[in-house]
Amino acid sequence: MKRVVAMAVAGFVFSAHGEGNPSKGREIVLARLGDDGSLPRLAEAEVTRPLKPSPTVPDVLGLDYLALEARNGALGQAGEELALAYEVARLRHLGKPKLADRVEPVSRTRGDGLGYDIRSFETSGEDRFLEVKTTGFGKDTPFYVTRTELRFSVESALQFHLYRLFQFRKEPKMFSLNGALDKTCVLDPSQFIARVG
């Protein structure tokens, strides 16, 4: 059984997963913020639920839906925008408006090859690096990780957070995993570079 701690913050509901360690991951149901961007309310609840194996995505008519979705730049951009809005709101709610003003969408401002998409902050002012992966499918849908993302997550494990947005087209939800991707996810090699020798 996984322990899940759920928190509601006006428009955002998030729950931390973990074996007695709530910081291992968070599932966040995203909804609209107040018109002024505030998050005035906070509530907590605890629930438990069994771990489920990851389902596979149906391959109807021989199409690779994961590959098609991975190439959908508009979906990824929309997910990053929502994660950016969430981070700004999170910091403002925690009483850190100056840090909220410094949150940077580095995939746009510096390029998409740094190993993360958003530079945010902890309330202490320490860096918080976010890699955002978005899908229109369910939360257990596999996703692609680049070598750069993997390497950066290992080098900056304490500061690295994967934000996985799912059911994005229907009712966007999100969970967060903190730490190196090779420790928080099951990684399967799926592509190779071939050179004629």
Write the CATH number for 170: 3.40.1350
Looking at the domain assignment, is residue 164 inside a domain?
Answer: yes
Extract the tokens encoding 120: 């945010």
Rounded mean pLDDT, 150-172: 93
**Residue 31 is assigned to a structural domain of this protein:** no
Query: In 3D, which of 51, 7, 18 has the Cα closest to residue 178?
Result: 18
Give residue 128's Cα distance to chain centre. Answer: 12
In sequence order, what are the beta bridge partners of 16?
5, 26
Mean pLDDT computed over 164-191: 89
Q: Is the pLDDT assigned to residue 97 strictly greater than 50?
A: yes
Q: Model confidence at 94, in pLDDT bands (50, 70, 90)?
A: very high
User: Whole-prediction pTM value?
Assistant: 0.69
pLDDT in tens, 124-144: 999 999 999 999 888 888 888
Output the pLDDT for position 17. 38
The whole domain housing 165 covers 64-184
- For the stretch 11-59, pLDDT in tens is 343 333 333 333 344 444 444 444 444 433 332 233 223 333 344 444 4
Asked whether residue 165 is assigned to any structural domain, the reply reads yes
In a domain, 105, yes or no: yes
Examine residue 85 and state whether it is found in any structural domain, yes or no. yes
Residue 29 CA to residue 24 CA, distance in Å, equals 17
Q: Count Cβ atoms within 10 A of the Cβ of residue 121 and give its class: 0-12 exposed, 13-18 middle, 19 or more buried.
A: buried
Q: How many domains, in total, are found in the chain? A: 1
For residue 2, is it within any domain?
Answer: no
At 65, the pLDDT band (50, 70, 90 cuts) reads low
Mean pLDDT of 89-112: 94
Size (the chain), residues: 197
Query: Measured between alpha carbons, how far is 150 from 187 in angstroms, rounded to an integer?
Result: 10
Alpha helix ranges (H) inside 45-110: 65-70, 73-93, 97-101, 106-109
Q: CA separation (Å) from 70 to 98, 136, 157? A: 34, 11, 24
